[in-house]
Amino acid sequence: MTILERYNAALDERAAAMRAEAAAARQSGDERRHSLFLMQASMLGDMLKQLGKVEHNRIRAGILQSEIDFMTRQAASFEARGDFDAADQARVKADTIRWAQDALRRLEAEGDE
């Protein structure tokens, strides 16, 4: 498998885990966690697959870090305005992108199989 195929498979696996967490949160009545897990699962689909491809192929090197930095700034801005829910969402987005970035870096270090 190529690095990108393994990256996409890792994202799919993580998204499935997030959907399972979302279902468990909903079953326990925690709609906020349900929503956050679904948001993560959605991000791990086409969005992060495409950004990972752009990063890996050096079309725009650093795009994942750029998105992490943007979400971190957004979180700080929301928090400064007292919008703590939006700040939490932005932090979760940054963490999800960071997870994808780490996965891609790890796979690139391992190389193609």
State percent of the chain over pLDDT 70. Answer: 99
What residue segments make up the domains of the chain, in order of their start? 3-108
Q: How far apart are CA 47 and CA 34, in angstroms?
A: 20
Measured at the CA of 13, the angle between CA 70 and CA 45, to 5 degrees, comes to: 45
Where b means 16+ CB within 10 Å and e means fewer, 77-102 reads: ebeeeeeeeebebbbbbbebbbbbbe
Q: pLDDT tens digits for 38-81? A: 999 999 999 999 999 999 999 998 999 999 999 999 999 999 99
pTM summary value: 0.94
